[in-house]
Chains A and B, each alone.
Chain A
Amino acid sequence: MDLSYTDDQIAFRDEVRAFLAEKLPRRLEDKVRTGKRLEKADYEEWHAILNERGWLGVTWPESFGGPGWDAVERHIFEEETTRAHAPRIVPFGINMLAPVLMTFGSTAQQDHYLPRILDGTDWWCQGYSEPGAGSDLASLKTTAERKGDSYVVNGQKTWTTLGQYADKIFCLVRTSKEGKPQAGISFLLIDMDSPGVEVRPIVLIDGEAEVNEVWFDNVEVPAENLVGEENQGWTIAKYLLTHERTNIAGVGFARAGLENLRRIAGLERAGGRPLIENPIFAAKMAQVEIDLMAMATTNLRTLAAAAAGQAPGAESSMLKIKGTVIRQEINALTRQAVGPYALPFVSEALDEGSNVEPVGPDYAMPATQTYFNNRKLSIYGGSNEVQRQIITKAILEL
């Protein structure tokens, strides 16, 4: 048993740090650190910088132009980029669709789409959930009917993150009503410019329109946009969900959140002394830090097993639950730390270059809005209730 990184891993970490010190634009770092609103162009700028270094498709194997990192190296990269306040890599094309195409796509699809994902030509979004199909994803109703060389798609997707920026959407659609619900699902690529596609923003309780409804009204999709076989969609979806979960624990986000919390608790004063010295508040901060220390090791244990070739199983469900609960607790403590200045809501102050000053300390509103926004963590990507069911069945065999 050795809990430390190897010399090679430390050298790799230093290489990542040096890259971030040199290449991460100060402007983007500032925006992320201070909780400003990120625009499409900000993500594109960061993606391009990473791509130039060959570090955008970090989960991609070398045969597809990836860096060929193992699970521990990917973890180090994620941790360091989060720590340095880099924008996140928007996962939909890079980490979700790309692995699907590499495994299930035709050579023509791989050759066409993968380079466009890396160079930013195509911004992808995800069309999975529907109003009636959330935790029970297999009950989805959006239909794709084969007519000659095309599919005609009708229905509605929802919770489509950053769909307002997207050029294309990958969708789960129903191509058959025969047999079990899972048996009639296909995986289809749809151009957002197609006639009949409509995007409607959904404003969430943090006041932001990060997610959307996507409506399909007789949308014609070339049959060649089918990935894999017809009615193979559920297999693809399950495969994709394991990829979606590679960074499910969110250790880097939790550490960055805790660091931000500690900074704020040092600046806020309660009863004549810094909040960080208040024994009740300090106890809560310590408690969540202790949980995070253990969870980080659970995460590394899982990563080490994955690096040794074991496929991640229900362990990712444990990490999803514990990781999201820890992040949400950090978010709640940060909201609590800002005190009465959690109340003002001055949306314009989050825009870059805005001449609207925040009310109270500049960290107060991002703290509050992040708390509200991150209630989603325990809901999306398979709610924590669904994760518990997976653990119950796959590990406990109950």
Chain B
Amino acid sequence: MNFELTDERRMLSDSLRRYLGDTASHEATAKATEGETGFDPGLWSGLSEMGVIGALLPEDAGGFGGAGFDISVVFEEIGRAGAVVPLIESGVLAAGLLAEFGETEAAEAAIAGTVLTLAHAEPGSRYTLEHVETRAEQHDGGWRLSGRKSVVGFAAAAETLIVSARTGGEAADTDGISLFRVPAEAEGLTLRDYPMNGGGRAAEVALDGVPAEALIGPEGGAFDALERAHARATCALSAEALGLMETIRALTVDYLRGRKQFGQPIGKFQALQHRMADVLIEIEQARSAVINLAGHLGADRAERERHVSATKNLIGRAGRLVAEEAIQMHGGIGMTQEYALGHFAKRLIMVDHRFGDADHHLERFIRLSAA
């Protein structure tokens, strides 16, 4: 048994923490959130140059990592800084899928900083991965896509969209789902771009007979790869949540020490001390849940997915407790947009709205455990 990070991962973690500490301040993130793409392009290219995107992908795709702990180390630091970048969308989801299907050139472009995104979820899919209604039909030797995709992260900034569509089967079938490469400027592709709670941007994507550049992977057989990609993305998001919690903890403990009411620091009141102790315990539970998932990303499907749901359920519950308790212990100042806590707490609450909430994964965990 060994819970130490390897030297390489520790170095990556340390240098990333320093870089983000210098580059992704709360003020810089707030400014980038107001900007056109919702992220700071300088920060993004800096991360690419540091090899952060490469760390998320395996060697045969031009990366130098891609294992669960590579992903968790990177995203814990992203969360700690409260940084907003298309790293899950481009690095984990889109490039991860390209790498799985041997599209090395496109994966390498992503490592070099080209922004990609995965357009998979749909207005009616909620958190059900196999719910795909968008259809692909053959036309003059190519594929044309029609349908609607919802809350597609950083779609307006992406040069290429990886779009899932049905080439067979019905809306809830796992078989019959295919992936396509669609350039941002493709005809028939319409984006409604908007900002998101907690920072960043997304878009509702309408596809009306959009010609795909290429089919990626086997026709009708993309579901297993999509599920693996979402397992990695859930690991990334859970680690990001852990990093958010750590900063929230630091901000709240500072506040408990510094804020005086009734003639003493409010951290001297036992009622608040005990609640902060509970917050700490839940953060350590979250840390272990992230380790559990990172350590099982390479396991067989049944074991891997059981860990995906266990971790995401715990992160959802712990995240709500940590965010709400931190706001409460701060009082009014914790509710302001100007003070950093609000950004971290909002981002943490929004984690539960991506890749399945605590209830979705509780139900899924029960189902997977019974199988």
Contact = CB atoms under 8 A, between A and B. Distances in A.
Q: Do A and B come from one complex?
A: yes
Interface of A: 129, 132, 134-136, 139, 158-159, 202-205, 207, 211, 268-272, 278, 280-281, 284, 332, 335-336, 339-346, 359-360, 368, 371-372, 375-376, 378-380, 383-385, 388
A343 B124 contact: no
A388 B332 CA distance: 18
Contacts of B260: 132
A377 B353 CA distance: 23
Contacts of B196: 343-345
A158 B332 contact: yes
Contacts of B31: none
Pairs A-B, 10 closest by C-beta atoms: A136-B261, A205-B342, A203-B337, A342-B353, A345-B197, A343-B196, A339-B126, A280-B359, A340-B151, A136-B262
B354 interface: yes
Q: Please indicate which of the listed interface residues B271, B335, B345 has the most CB atoms of chain A within 10 Å of its own CB.
A: B335
Interface string B342-371: 100110011011100101101100000000
Contact of A388 (B172, B271, B324, B353): B271
A103 B171 CA distance: 68
B328 A378 contact: yes
B143 interface: no
A203 B346 CA distance: 14
Max chain A CB contacts within 10 Å: which of B172, B197, B337, B353? B197
A346 B336 contact: no
Contacts of A204: 335-337, 342
Nearest to B357: A336
A207 B337 contact: yes
B336 A343 contact: no
B127 interface: yes
12 contacts: A134-B332, A205-B336, A205-B346, A339-B126, A341-B151, A343-B350, A344-B151, A368-B197, A375-B335, A376-B332, A379-B331, A385-B271
A207 B338 CA distance: 11
B332 A380 contact: yes
Given A134-B331, A205-B346, A272-B172, A339 B359 contact: no
A345 B195 contact: yes
Contact of A346 (B127, B194, B324, B337): B194
B126 A268 contact: yes
Contacts of B327: 375, 379
Interface of B: 121, 123-124, 126-128, 150-151, 172, 192, 194-198, 202, 204, 260-262, 269, 271-272, 320, 324, 327-328, 331-332, 334-338, 342, 345-346, 349-350, 352-354, 357, 359-360, 362-363
A159 B359 CA distance: 35
B194 A345 contact: yes
Contacts of A359: 192, 194, 204
Contacts of A281: 359
Contacts of A132: 260
B87 to A, nearest CB: 17
Contacts of B195: 344-346
A344 B195 CA distance: 6
Contacts of B328: 375, 378-379, 383-384
A136 to B, nearest CB: 4
B133 to A, nearest CB: 13
Contacts of A376: 332, 335
Given A159-B332, A388-B271, 8 more contacts: A136-B261, A204-B337, A269-B126, A332-B320, A339-B353, A342-B350, A343-B196, A379-B327
B264 to A, nearest CB: 10
B92 to A, nearest CB: 17
Nearest to A380: B332
Contact of A375 (B124, B126, B324): B324
A341 B198 CA distance: 13
A67 to B, nearest CB: 35
Nearest to A343: B196
Nearest to B332: A159
A123 B314 CA distance: 47
A205 B331 CA distance: 13
A375 to B, nearest CB: 5
A369 to B, nearest CB: 8
Contacts of A375: 324, 327-328, 334-335
B182 to A, nearest CB: 21
Nearest to A385: B271
Given A207-B337, A270-B126, A385-B271, A343 B360 contact: no
B73 to A, nearest CB: 26
Nearest to A375: B327
Contacts of A207: 337
Contacts of A384: 328
Contact of B336 (A129, A203, A340, A368): A203
Nearest to B275: A385
A305 B327 CA distance: 35
Contacts of B335: 204-205, 372, 375-376, 379
B202 A343 contact: yes
Nearest to B360: A270
A368 B335 CA distance: 14
A119 B214 CA distance: 69
A383 B262 CA distance: 14
Given A269-B124, A336-B357, A344 B194 contact: yes
Given A203-B336, A340-B121, A340-B354, A135 B359 contact: no
B127 A280 contact: no
B107 to A, nearest CB: 26
A136 B262 CA distance: 6
A298 B194 CA distance: 45
B151 to A, nearest CB: 5
A366 to B, nearest CB: 12
Contact of B123 (A211, A360, A368): A360
Contacts of A134: 261, 331-332
B332 to A, nearest CB: 5
A202 B336 contact: yes
Nearest to B260: A132
B336 A372 contact: no
